[in-house]
């Protein structure tokens, strides 16, 4: 390996460094994404609210061509193709650089589409708040007309504690049965009180 590196020209070493740095960084990025380090696992109300509010922005940023993964993929392919052209094909330096740049730009587009697909796969598990409408649950923290509270509701098979308000003038105390009437701001439930008979029927 040392002998091979010592036989490289200055330009070829530059290509090799770009390929190594770009490839390793991109690999780490993909592994972290597959492990869920950039995904979401909604387990409580605060995390759920933050995730739902930021999902669109994260998705948009995630698959832009000019992004961390795009830049690392550019350097990886720039280095690999440039080194191959210079070392194997004995192409002149300008042609090697041009070929590397072209391959890098193509790689940026391909990787952007790949991460777009991966982001969509991750977002499939995101909590859809609108599916909570019509569901019943109980008050976790007293729900007040203006300041709001929290309710415990099963949404998409998961028991979630979510922000909630009531349109009535009377607060709904902790432990009371409620029904979700609608969703406002994409992340806050509007709930109403249920009597015991209605709750039993809904259950």
The per-residue DSSP string of 72-127 comes to HHHHHHHHHHHHIIIIIS---HHHHHHHHHHHHHHHHHHHHHHHHHHHHHHHTTS-
Q: Please report the pLDDT score of residue 81 as a whole number.
A: 93
Closest CA to 167 of 153, 180, 155, 185: 180
| CB contact at 8 A, 143 and 165 | yes
Give residue for tokens 């995101």: 126
Q: Looking at the domain that runs over 129-202, which CATH code has it been given?
A: 2.40.50.140
Q: Please report the pLDDT score of residue 99 as a whole number.
A: 92
- Token output for 121: 């796969």
Q: Please report the pLDDT score of residue 100 as a whole number.
A: 92
Q: Please report the pLDDT score of residue 24 as a whole number.
A: 92
Instruction: Report the C-alpha gap between 109 and 65 in whole angstroms.
Output: 6
List the end-to-end C-alpha distance of the chain, in Å, as a whole number: 69
Domain parsing of the chain, residue ranges = 2-123, 129-202
Q: Please report the pLDDT score of residue 125 as a whole number.
A: 52
| CB contact at 8 A, 192 and 165 | no
Who contacts 74 (Cβ-Cβ below 8 Å, separation ≥6)?
22, 104, 105, 107, 108
pLDDT averaged over 10-residue windows placed end to end, the chain, 203 residues: 60 90 86 59 38 41 62 90 87 90 90 72 62 88 84 85 86 91 84 67 51
Q: Is this model's pTM higher than 0.75 or not?
A: no
Q: Please report the pLDDT score of residue 132 as a whole number.
A: 83
């Amino acid at each position: 390996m040392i002998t091979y590196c010592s036989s490289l020209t200055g330009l070829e070493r530059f290509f090799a460094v770009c390929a190594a740095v770009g490839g390793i960084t991109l690999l780490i990025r993909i592994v972290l994404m597959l492990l869920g380090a950039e995904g979401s696992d909604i387990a409580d109300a605060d995390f759920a609210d933050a995730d739902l509010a930021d999902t669109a922005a994260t998705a948009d940023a995630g698959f832009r061509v000019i992004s961390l993964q795009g830049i690392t993929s550019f350097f990886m392919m720039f280095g690999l193709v440039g080194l191959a052209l210079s070392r194997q094909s004995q192409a002149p330096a300008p042609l090697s650089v041009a070929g590397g740049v072209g391959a890098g730009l193509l790689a940026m587009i391909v990787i952007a589409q790949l991460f777009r697909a991966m982001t969509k796969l991750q977002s499939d598990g995101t909590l859809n708040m609108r599916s909570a409408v019509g569901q019943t649950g109980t008050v976790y923290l007293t729900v007040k007309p203006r300041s709001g509270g929290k309710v415990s509701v099963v949404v998409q098979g998961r028991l979630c504690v979510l922000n909630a308000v009531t349109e009535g003038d009377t607060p709904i105390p902790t432990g009371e049965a409620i029904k979700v009437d609608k969703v406002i701001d994409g992340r806050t439930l509007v709930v109403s009180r249920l009597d015991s008979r209605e709750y039993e029927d809904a259950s």
